């Protein structure tokens, strides 16, 4: 098969998968059947496009092929009286005629995935799978669940969606707010997967198998969609602000020449994208005007404070420490406690920060295996003038780190510090 | 779609049925609830059941019939009644379940009714 055709199929898969699947699942009320029909459509594309050429509207072609597959399934199951089938029959346009742009049903599908009748531990993963087309093995690390277990739970959730007749219309009132939290969490997780998978040139880490830039771009797109649809929801604006702040610094995380990892406080601020930072600050300002503080807004405010270094040359550590303590009131996570310890260590002296880390490891067992805990500890121990202890903590951080570039950086830094 | 709403209550709630002071409120709540389902035109069928002390359970083991006094399992909550409703989605069925008196005292399970098998070909 020619490279051009393979590229065309891959591009269509990347750009259209979520939109096509959401629309099909919406018409059909069956996520698993829609996934199968769409997968078969992609297989058919790989078979016929090399012969007949890439169609002018690949997305419409794939949609028509997937709809045919679903209709075939319906004939097989004798469900022609089903209203979903009637909807699909109503629009039997020829493959290559451009369909009008599909209404984006992805957000609606995300709300279905967050249905309270589905196991809560699978909400975010189900959204990532259906809307971004990720496989269980790619998603599992983000949720600290074994891939096989996650795959099983996803299958079970999709079965329930099909069999139990969940409503696909958007929820209203208090239920909307409840499900929105799960939707925002999933978007944040998607961005995180892209962030972790990214290498110096934006290419994915080979073991991740995800196009990291695409994933982050999709996450930002979805965050914009939610923020646009719900201008009065402060956390939706907060999440968008948070992602934009991170995105602004994405490329500065790696040395332009060597590709080596560069920590936040050594990044060249000239490589930060000013336009994104301005947009993020506007989002955060809009969010705070709604007077409904939440975790994403505090995290965004912390990122905003870090970005001040670009204009003032200083990191406002005292303000950051205060923001962390407010964040901990609404979301007492290990990550936030480690962040607070570092900020307090910078603002009030390394000993104060180390005391917070000591309290953390005494109260939360899991912190023993949490890589950022040991990286923060090593950092503060150097500040406290204890290089040997710092090297031991750094070794622990290196052992727990999955990212090779981060491991390299830690090794370089602490060999110097302990020499 | 059709859903069965399965109402379960703890024993002390069953006991209200025989408590002359509280029985009117107990039955009043159920009658109002069932009445509103009937009025909405969603109800297909349903029944209340006598308390678990009236239950008998049968099993065939090794070809022999075993008859046991009482419900199938000892548990905190016991089946007290059921209805089958016809509504557009699980969400609507959950709304009806949430309004049932047993949702307050015990629990109400919602199960989709198995659709009839497709007609044979030809």
CA distances from A323 to A6, A246, A264, A330 (A): 48, 17, 18, 11
With respect to residue B117, please indicate whether it lies within any of the assigned structural domains. no
Which whole number is the average pLDDT over A379-403? 91
Is B118 close to A164, i.e. CB distance below 8 A?
Answer: no
Q: Does B84 lie at the interface with A, CB-CB under 8 angstroms?
A: no
Contacts of A171 in chain B (CB under 8 A): 91
* Distance between CA atoms of residues A292 and A284, nearest Å: 12
Is B118 close to A117, i.e. CB distance below 8 A?
Answer: no
With respect to residue B103, please indicate whether it lies within any of the assigned structural domains. yes
* Distance between CA atoms of residues B33 and B36, nearest Å: 5
> Residue A100: which pLDDT band, with cuts at 50, 70 and 90?
very low
Is A117 close to B89, i.e. CB distance below 8 A?
Answer: no
Q: pLDDT above 70 covers what percent of chain A? A: 88
Q: Does residue A399 register a pLDDT over 60?
A: yes
Contacts of A117 in chain B (CB under 8 A): 90, 94
Nearest to B46 by CA among B86, B94, B74: B86
Q: Does A311 lie at the interface with B, CB-CB under 8 angstroms?
A: no
Is B112 close to A117, i.e. CB distance below 8 A?
Answer: no
Outline where A3-122 has alpha helix (H). 3-28, 31-52, 58-77, 83-89, 106-113
pLDDT for position A98: 43
Longest dimension (CA), chain A: 77
pLDDT for position B83: 97
Question: Rg of chain B over CA atoms, in angstroms?
Answer: 17
Mind telling me how many Å the CA of A78 is from chain B's nearest CA? 7
pLDDT for position A208: 47
List, for residues B62-93, the tens digit of each pLDDT value: 999 988 888 877 788 999 999 999 999 999 99
Is B90 close to A78, i.e. CB distance below 8 A?
Answer: no
Nearest to A255 by CA among A246, A267, A265: A267
Q: Which of A78, A79, A117 sits opposite B90 (nearest CB)?
A: A117
Q: With a CB-CB cutoff of 8 Å, which residues 107-126 of chain A face chain B?
A: 117
Nearest to B34 by CA among B91, B108, B90, B106: B108
SS3 category, A118: coil
Q: What are the CB-based long-range contacts (under 8 Å, 24+) for A394-402?
A: A397/A371, A397/A372, A400/A369, A400/A370, A400/A371, A400/A374, A401/A371, A401/A375, A402/A196, A402/A371
**Do the beta carbons of residue A96 and residue A55 sit within 8 Å?**
yes
List, for residues A236-268, the tens digit of each pLDDT value: 999 999 999 999 998 899 888 888 889 898 999
With respect to residue B122, please indicate whether it lies within any of the assigned structural domains. no
pLDDT for position A56: 87
Q: What are the CB-based long-range contacts (under 8 Å, 24+) for A212-218?
A: A214/A14, A215/A132, A215/A134, A215/A190, A215/A191, A216/A190, A216/A191, A216/A243, A216/A247, A216/A250, A218/A18, A218/A131, A218/A132, A218/A190, A218/A194
Bigger pLDDT: A233 vs A195: A233
User: Best residue in A167, A169, A173 to probe B by mutation, most B CBs within 10 Å?
Assistant: A167
Is A78 close to B89, i.e. CB distance below 8 A?
Answer: no
Is A77 close to B118, i.e. CB distance below 8 A?
Answer: yes
Q: Does A164 lie at the interface with B, CB-CB under 8 angstroms?
A: yes
* Distance between CA atoms of residues B106 and A276, nearest Å: 53
Whether the complex's predicted ipTM is more than 0.90 is answered with no
List, for residues A126-159, the tens digit of each pLDDT value: 988 888 888 888 888 777 778 999 999 999 999 9
* Distance between CA atoms of residues A414 and A403, nearest Å: 17
With respect to residue B77, please indicate whether it lies within any of the assigned structural domains. yes
Q: Does B119 lie at the interface with A, CB-CB under 8 angstroms?
A: yes
With respect to residue B89, please indicate whether it lies within any of the assigned structural domains. yes
Is B90 close to A167, i.e. CB distance below 8 A?
Answer: yes
What are residue B9's DSSP bridge partners?
B78
> Domain of B11?
2-112
**Do the beta carbons of residue A139 and residue A122 sit within 8 Å?**
no
> Residue A92: which pLDDT band, with cuts at 50, 70 and 90?
very low
Is A166 close to B88, i.e. CB distance below 8 A?
Answer: no
**Do the beta carbons of residue A404 and residue A366 sit within 8 Å?**
no
User: Best residue in B94, B95, B119, B120 to probe A by mutation, most A CBs within 10 Å?
Assistant: B94
pLDDT for position A93: 44
Q: Does B116 lie at the interface with A, CB-CB under 8 angstroms?
A: no
List, for residues A1-52, the tens digit of each pLDDT value: 577 888 887 777 777 888 889 889 988 888 999 999 999 999 998 888 888 8
> Residue A78: which pLDDT band, with cuts at 50, 70 and 90?
low
pLDDT for position A96: 39
State the CATH number of the domain containing residue B94: 3.30.70.1060
Contacts of A168 in chain B (CB under 8 A): 89
Q: Does B28 lie at the interface with A, CB-CB under 8 angstroms?
A: no
Q: Which of B89, B112, B119 sits opposite A167 (nearest CB)?
A: B89
With respect to residue B48, please indicate whether it lies within any of the assigned structural domains. yes
CA distances from A390 to A172, A365, A404, B118 (A): 52, 21, 20, 70
List, for residues A161-220, the tens digit of each pLDDT value: 988 988 888 787 778 878 888 899 889 988 988 777 666 654 544 444 455 567 788 889
Low-confidence ranges of chain B (pLDDT < 70): 119-122
Q: Does B88 lie at the interface with A, CB-CB under 8 angstroms?
A: yes
* Distance between CA atoms of residues A406 and A260, nearest Å: 8
> Residue A291: which pLDDT band, with cuts at 50, 70 and 90?
very high
pLDDT for position B121: 61
CA distances from A111 to A17, A124, A170, A340 (A): 18, 10, 7, 33
Q: Does B92 lie at the interface with A, CB-CB under 8 angstroms?
A: yes
Mind telling me how many Å the CA of B65 is from chain A's nearest CA? 35
Mind telling me how many Å the CA of A161 is from chain B's nearest CA? 10
pLDDT for position A99: 44
Q: pLDDT above 90 covers what percent of chain A? A: 45
* Distance between CA atoms of residues A99 and A64, nearest Å: 10
Tell the burial category of B39 from Cβ atoms under 10 Å away from its Cβ (0-12, 13-18, 19+): exposed
Bigger pLDDT: A417 vs A342: A342
- By C-alpha distance, the chain A residue nearest B115 is A163
Total tally of structural domains belonging to chain B = 1
Q: Does A78 lie at the interface with B, CB-CB under 8 angstroms?
A: yes
Q: Which of A78, A79, A166 sits opposite B91 (nearest CB)?
A: A166
Q: pTM (2 decimals)?
A: 0.75
**Number of neighbouring beta carbons within 10 Å of residue A369:** 11
Which whole number is the average pLDDT over A78-96? 51
Which residues does A124 contact at the CB level (< 8 Å), separation at least 6? A143, A182, A185, A186, A189
Q: Does residue A230 register a pLDDT over 90?
A: no
Contacts of B117 in chain A (CB under 8 A): none
With respect to residue B27, please indicate whether it lies within any of the assigned structural domains. yes
With respect to residue B121, please indicate whether it lies within any of the assigned structural domains. no
Is A165 close to B90, i.e. CB distance below 8 A?
Answer: yes
The 10 Å CB-count burial string (b at 16+, else e) for A140-175 is bbbbebeeeebbebbeebbebbbebbbbbeebeeee
């Amino acid at each position: 098969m020619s490279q051009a055709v393979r590229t065309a199929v891959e591009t269509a898969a990347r750009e259209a998968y979520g939109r096509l699947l959401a629309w099909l699942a919406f018409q059909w009320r069956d996520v698993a059947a829609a996934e199968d029909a769409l997968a078969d459509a992609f297989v058919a594309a790989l078979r016929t496009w090399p012969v007949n050429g890439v169609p002018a509207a690949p997305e419409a072609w794939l949609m028509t092929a997937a709809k045919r597959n679903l209709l075939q399934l319906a004939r097989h199951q004798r469900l022609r009286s089903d209203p979903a089938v009637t909807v699909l029959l109503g629009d039997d346009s020829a493959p290559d005629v451009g369909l009008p742009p599909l209404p984006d049903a992805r957000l609606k599908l995300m709300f279905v995935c967050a249905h309270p009748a589905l196991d809560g531990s699978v909400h975010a993963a189900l959204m990532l799978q259906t809307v971004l087309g990720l496989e269980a093995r790619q998603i599992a690390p983000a949720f600290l669940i074994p891939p096989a277990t996650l795959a099983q739970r996803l299958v079970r959730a999709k079965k329930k969606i099909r069999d139990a007749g969940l409503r696909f219309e958007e929820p209203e009132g208090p239920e909307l707010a409840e499900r929105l939290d799960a939707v925002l969490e999933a978007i944040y997780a998607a961005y995180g997967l892209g962030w972790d998978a990214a290498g110096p040139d934006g290419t994915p880490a080979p073991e991740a198998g995800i196009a990291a830039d695409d994933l982050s771009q999709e996450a930002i797109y979805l965050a914009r969609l939610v923020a646009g649809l719900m201008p009065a929801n402060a956390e939706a604006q907060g999440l968008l602000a948070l992602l934009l702040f991170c995105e602004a610094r994405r490329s500065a995380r790696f040395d332009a020449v060597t590709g080596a990892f560069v920590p936040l406080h050594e990044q060249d601020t000239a490589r930060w994208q000013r336009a994104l930072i301005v947009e993020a600050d506007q989002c955060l300002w809009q969010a705070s005007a709604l007077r409904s503080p939440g975790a994403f807004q505090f995290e965004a405010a912390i990122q905003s404070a870090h970005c001040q270094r670009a204009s003032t040359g200083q990191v406002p550590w005292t303000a950051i420490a205060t923001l962390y303590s407010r964040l901990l009131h609404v979301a007492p996570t290990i990550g936030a406690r480690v962040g607070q310890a570092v900020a307090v260590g910078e603002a009030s002296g390394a000993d104060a920060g180390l005391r917070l880390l000591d309290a953390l490891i005494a109260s939360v067992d899991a912190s023993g295996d949490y890589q950022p805990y040991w990286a923060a500890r090593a950092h503060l121990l150097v500040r406290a003038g204890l290089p040997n202890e710092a090297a031991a903590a750094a070794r622990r951080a290196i052992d727990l780190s999955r990212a090779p570039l981060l491991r390299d950086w830690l090794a370089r830094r602490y060999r110097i510090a302990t020499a | 779609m059709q859903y069965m709403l399965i109402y379960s209550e703890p024993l002390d709630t069953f006991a209200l049925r025989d408590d002359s002071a509280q029985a009117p409120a107990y039955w009043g709540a159920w009658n109002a609830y069932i009445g509103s389902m009937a009025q909405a035109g969603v109800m297909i069928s349903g029944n209340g059941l006598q308390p678990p002390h009236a239950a008998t359970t049968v099993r065939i083991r090794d070809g022999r019939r075993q008859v046991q006094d009482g419900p199938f399992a000892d548990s905190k909550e016991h089946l007290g009644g059921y209805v089958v409703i016809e509504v557009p989605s699980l969400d609507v069925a959950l709304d009806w379940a949430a309004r049932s008196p047993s949702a307050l005292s015990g629990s109400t399970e919602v199960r989709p009714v198995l659709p009839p098998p497709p007609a044979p070909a030809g």
